[in-house]
Amino acid sequence: MNVILLGPPGAGKGTQARLLVEQRGMVQLSTGDMLREAQASGSAMGRRVAEVMARGALVSDDIVIGLIEERLRSGTGGGAIFDGFPRTLAQADALEALLARLGQRIDAVIELRVDDAVLVDRVSGRYVCGNCGEVWHDRTRPTRVPGVCDACGSTDLRRRADDNETSLRQRLMEYYKKTAPLIGYYHAKGLLAPVDGLAPVAEVAAAIRAVLDAPPGGLDARSERP
Ligand code: ADP
Ligand code: AMP
């Protein structure tokens, strides 16, 4: 099963993707994480994208499509959760073609619906474990012991360089200009499932579980006969 998590920065895509990995043995494919790994490794590509990411612009389609292609080629077992990809119509087309080549398809597109007003708080309170990647929040999801990751015990808790208000404003503009059109696109394909992203994490997870237990299926899964 292949699922896309769609929503603005801070909507809760990474948080929910990690829960799906835990509960369903799916693989999380986060282009944001892949790009941050490339930066941390000091690769030429990582150095090229650092400035683009810091200012909250989108990295070029060919780079992120290349990253996804590489990961899909190495197999996704119980299915993939696309987190932060696709972000443009060109990326959506490329994903469809890549999956078709593997005899696969997208089964559902979960749209995490949130108000812009909560995003500044979501993003400015976010911190992530540098060891296991668990996502925390100062107010809504703090670690039990300050400075120690509940999931793995690491004290390597980090803030993201782009989690500031200026970058968030730019990321939101990019989202509305280039990514939000995907909502209509996947709706037209019969794949869209909106979920209330303002609810507590466990409730959002339950709503997503319900969608995945009865996926929308899409146009090509529907019979034309009455
Ligand atoms: P995205 O991957 O969409 O950018 P994240 O999953 O990283 O979003 O979540 C952004 C921040 O909001 C994190 O600090 C996370 O702990 C917090 N968060 C995620 N989902 C919820 C929720 N349903 N309610 C409250 N806070 C949440
Ligand atoms: P994220 O971790 O999803 O919030 O992404 C962080 C940043 O990485 C974004 O602001 C973009 O600069 C870049 N990025 C991540 N995924 C993509 C994508 N699919 N297309 C273009 N840029 C991306």
Going across the sheet that includes 157-158, the strands are 135-137, 126-129, 157-158
For residues 81-86, average pLDDT: 98
Is 101 a residue of the active site? no
How far is residue 26's CA from residue 37's CA, in Å, rounded to a whole number?
Answer: 20
pLDDT surpassing 80 at residue 225:
no
H-type alpha helices, 25-103: 31-41, 44-54, 61-73, 89-101
Is 47 a residue of the active site? no
Structure tokens, 25:
């043995």
Catalytic residue selected from 13, 18, 36, 71: 13
Is 160 a residue of the active site? yes
How far is residue 223's CA from residue 226's CA, in Å, rounded to a whole number?
Answer: 8
Is 178 a residue of the active site? no
pLDDT surpassing 80 at residue 67:
yes
Say how many Å lie between the CA of residue 200 and the centre of ligand 1.
Answer: 10
Backbone angles phi, psi at 46, to 5 degrees: -55, -40
pLDDT surpassing 70 at residue 164:
yes
Residues with CB under 6 A from ligand 1: 7, 9-15, 122, 125-126, 135-137, 140-141, 200-201, 204
Sign of CA dihedral 93, 96, 99, 103: negative
Nearest CA to ligand 1 atom 5: 12
Q: Which residue has the higher pLDDT, 35 or 224?
A: 35
- pLDDT category at 219 given cuts 50, 70, 90 is low
Atom of ligand 1 nearest to the CA of 15: 6
Sign of CA dihedral 50, 55, 56, 60: negative
pLDDT surpassing 70 at residue 212:
yes
Structure tokens, 30:
């986060």
Contact 167, 175 (CB under 8 A): no
